[in-house]
């Protein structure tokens, strides 16, 4: 009966050793969640419709370029955003069949109409392509934000998609929420545009803006008074170069005034375009635009080879570092808006830790005292199994790299109760068997055998509920669910396997006529 007892003891010892090894040192292995450490909780919504519009505009440019390569004369090609359509107008009706041939390569467009004069076509973006663009916008936004947060230096952040177009962000330990929001939420769409020097800025400000131009502003802040003024620029709408070709962005300081600026490096394609643009527009101004804000508009003195540029402005060192971070991480594919913004102070977090630990200790003491009084020496076995249960739980949390949250502490407390409950089921069955006149050994065997099914049923239903919470819950709910799942597995092991081994060890050394239970 007890021939495998040594192996069972060895398994228990190895399990204890493994759990302790995984959990040591505890502070380095288990991080504290947002509610315990303090920090930020953000829910962002990605404006996916803007990503669709940007894609439609790029596709319209691609179509115009492809038609132009066929030596066909185009009147206009215009993106119609509200209908997700592209309107193509040609100068000569004879050019329409070749245009249709070009459009066969754009399989995600469907022709919806043809003008009666034989000069125009209208194509609509397919619904599947629209959905794909929206999904890509969210997934790319998630990766971009993750890259920014990683460079920002936040430890153990939580960044995940929530629903179809929302992104959940939890940043434990963040002490400057406003800076973090600016870093995360900035679209960082970097564009280089030529200043429109052929038309009057004053006429444009009066409402007479040329169709191919737009008005953007640069912000200037007086460092002494804090007053912010805006200076208008009349720019060509056409973007000659974007930040998509960037390979690097770093903070540097000029030699004269020690003012910080952001140095940019482009890849081979970007370097070629930048060289071509600067060569063809000497003595003209090239504006550097970030999220529709003009940072600077220097005069091109000469052609600039090598793919290097710089963004200057009234930066602080911190502003320049943050700008370099978001440029390195890349632009968001679509703007984001903050739906939820909560900040948890570190003092509140520490108070939660203290209360959580106190509740575990106080609740544990009450359970231990009750078990020892009610079940006597058998209660010692239950308390030992309970202690091992907590050791296994902590070791598993360390192994999975789970962050301990306040709901997670609640899960630990619930686990303590469930672990004792399993032992109570076994002990009560043993008592019943002894009352029926069975020997101690027979009562122990029957007690564990008959209680086993009840314990399994109760724990499996709770485990399923915990898995559902983990799958569909967010943040703190996940913390509670993972703690509960691990605790259930640990309590099954300790209540059935460990407790039974302890009883068998006692029975193997001496013959008992009476059991203290």
* Three-class DSSP labels, 107-153: CCEEEEEECCCCCEEEEEECHHHHHHHHHHHHHHHHHHHHHHHHHHC
* 482 pLDDT above the threshold of 90: no
Binning pLDDT at 50, 70 and 90, where does residue 349 land?
Answer: low
Q: Which of 67-71, 201-205, 317-321 has the lowest mean pLDDT?
A: 317-321
The domain 186-342 having CATH identifier 3.40.960.10: the answer here is: no
pLDDT beyond 70 at 346: no
Residue 46 pLDDT > 90, yes or no? yes
Report residue 290's pLDDT band, with 50, 70 and 90 as the boundaries: confident
pLDDT of the residue at 517: 78
Options 3.30.1360, 3.40.30, 2.60.40, 3.30.70; CATH of 49-129: 3.30.1360
How far lies 192's CA from each of 201, 205, 215, 426, in Å? 19, 22, 14, 75
Contact (Cβ atoms closer than 8 angstroms) between residue 514 and residue 508: no
Q: Identify the band that residue 279 occupies on the pLDDT scale cut at 50, 70 and 90.
A: very high
For residue 387, the model assigns a pLDDT of 87
Q: pLDDT band at 43, cuts 50/70/90?
A: very high
- Over range 433-457, report the average pLDDT: 86
Q: Helix H segments across 281-405?
A: 317-329, 346-400
Mean predicted confidence (pLDDT) in 211-237: 85
Residue 1, pLDDT > 60, answer no
Instruction: Say whether pLDDT at 99 is over 80.
Output: yes
| Structure tokens given for 274 | 């930048």
Residue pair 246/331 in contact (Cβ under 8 Å)? The answer is no
The whole-number average pLDDT for the span 290-300 is 88
Helix pair 499-509, 5-23: axis angle to 10 deg: 140
> What integer is the mean pLDDT of 375-390?
86
Would you say residue 272 has pLDDT above 70?
yes
Is the distance from CB of 142 to CB of 132 less than 8 angstroms?
no
- For residues 126, 130, 132, 137, the Cα torsion angle rounded to the nearest 10 degrees is 160
Q: Pick from 3, 14, 11: which is nearest to 496 by CA?
A: 11
Q: Is the pLDDT of residue 347 over 70?
A: no
Average pLDDT over residues 109-130: 92
Domain 5-38+347-509 of CATH type 3.40.50.720: no
Q: What was the pLDDT predicted at 507?
A: 78
Query: What was the pLDDT predicted at 134?
Result: 93
Rounded to whole angstroms, how far apart are CA atoms 18 and 22? 6
Q: What is the C-alpha separation between 398 and 402, in angstroms, rounded?
A: 6
For residues 485-499, give the mean pLDDT: 87
Q: What is the rounded average pLDDT for all residues in the chain?
A: 85
Check if 5-38+347-509 and 49-129 are the same fold: no
pLDDT at 512: 66
Contact 287, 190 (CB under 8 A): no
Q: How confident is the model at residue 45 (pLDDT cuts 50, 70, 90)?
A: very high
- 21-35, 39-53, 174-188, range with greatest mean pLDDT: 39-53
Q: What is the mean pLDDT of residues 277-290?
A: 92
Q: What is the pLDDT of residue 232?
A: 94
Percent residues over pLDDT 70 in the chain: 95
In whole angstroms, what is the distance from residue 114 CA to residue 121 CA?
Answer: 5
How confident is the model over 70-78, as a mean pLDDT?
89
C-beta of residue 290 within 8 angstroms of C-beta of residue 283: no
The residues spanned by each domain of the chain are 5-38+347-509, 49-129, 186-342
Averaged pLDDT for residues 61-65: 89
pLDDT at position 63 = 93
Question: How far from the centroid of its chain's Cα atoms is residue 58's Cα?
Answer: 28
pLDDT (0 to 100) of residue 223: 64
Backbone angles phi, psi at 346, to 5 degrees: -65, -30
Q: How confident is the model at residue 155 (pLDDT cuts 50, 70, 90)?
A: low
Is the link from the previous residue into 420 a cis peptide, with omega within 30 of 0?
no
pLDDT of residue 122: 95
Q: Which of 8-12, 328-332, 337-341 has the lowest mean pLDDT?
A: 328-332
- pLDDT for 196 beyond 80: yes
- The helix/strand/coil state of 10 is helix
> CA 233 to CA 196: how far, in whole Å?
8
Are 127 and 116 in contact by the 8 Å Cβ rule? The answer is no
Q: What is the DSSP string of 184-248?
A: HH----EEEEEB--SS-HHHHHTT---TTEEEEEEEEE-TTT--EEEEEEEEESS-SEEGGGEEE
């Amino acid at each position: 009966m007890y021939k495998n007892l040594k192996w069972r003891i060895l398994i228990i010892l190895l399990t204890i050793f493994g759990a302790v090894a995984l959990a040591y040192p505890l502070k380095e292995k288990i991080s504290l969640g947002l509610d315990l450490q303090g920090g930020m909780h953000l829910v962002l919504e990605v404006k996916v419709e803007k990503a669709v519009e940007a894609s439609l505009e790029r596709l319209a440019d691609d179509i115009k370029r492809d038609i132009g390569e066929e030596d066909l004369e185009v009147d206009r090609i215009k993106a119609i955003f509200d209908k997700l359509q592209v309107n193509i107008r040609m100068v000569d009706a004879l050019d329409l069949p070749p245009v249709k041939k070009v459009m066969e390569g754009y399989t995600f467009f469907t022709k919806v109409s043809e003008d009666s004069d034989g000069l125009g076509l209208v194509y609509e973006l397919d619904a599947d392509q629209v959905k794909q663009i929206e999904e890509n916008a969210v997934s790319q936004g998630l990766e971009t934000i993750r890259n920014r947060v990683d460079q920002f230096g936040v430890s153990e952040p939580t960044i995940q998609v929530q629903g179809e177009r929302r992104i959940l962000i939890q940043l434990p330990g963040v002490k400057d929420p406003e800076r973090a929001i600016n870093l995360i939420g900035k679209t960082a769409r970097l564009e280089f545009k030529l200043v429109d020097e052929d038309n009057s800025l004053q006429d444009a400000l009066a409402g007479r803006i040329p169709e191919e131009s737009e008005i953007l502003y640069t912000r200037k802040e007086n460092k002494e008074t804090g007053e912010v003024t805006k200076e208008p620029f009349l720019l060509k709408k056409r973007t000659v170069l974007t930040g998509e070709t960037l390979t690097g962005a770093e903070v540097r300081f000029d030699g004269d005034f020690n003012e910080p600026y952001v140095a940019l490096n482009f890849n081979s394609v970007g370097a070629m375009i930048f060289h071509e643009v600067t060569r063809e527009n000497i003595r003209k101004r090239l504006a550097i635009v970030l999220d529709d804000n003009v940072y600077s508009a220097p005069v091109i003195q000469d052609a600039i080879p090598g793919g290097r540029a710089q963004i200057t402005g009234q930066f602080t060192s911190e502003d320049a570092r943050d700008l370099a971070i978001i440029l390195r991480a890349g632009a968001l594919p679509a703007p984001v808006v903050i739906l939820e913004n909560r900040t948890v102070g570190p003092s509140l977090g520490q108070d939660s830790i203290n209360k959580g630990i106190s509740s575990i200790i106080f609740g544990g003491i009450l359970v231990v005292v009750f078990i020892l009084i009610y079940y006597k020496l058998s209660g010692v076995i239950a308390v030992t199994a309970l202690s091992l249960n907590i050791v296994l739980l902590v070791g598993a949390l360390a192994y999975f790299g789970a962050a301990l949250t306040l709901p997670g502490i609640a899960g630990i407390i619930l686990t303590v109760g469930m672990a004792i409950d399993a032992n109570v089921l076994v002990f009560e069955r043993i008592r019943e068997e002894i009352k029926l006149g069975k020997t101690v050994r027979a009562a122990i065997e029957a007690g564990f055998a008959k209680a086993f099914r009840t314990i399994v049923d109760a724990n499996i239903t709770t485990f399923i509920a915990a898995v559902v919470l983990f799958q569909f819950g967010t943040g703190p709910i996940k913390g509670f669910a993972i703690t509960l799942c691990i605790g259930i597995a640990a309590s099954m092991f300790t209540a059935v396997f460990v407790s039974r081994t302890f009883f068998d060890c006692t029975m193997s050394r001496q013959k008992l006529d009476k059991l203290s239970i």
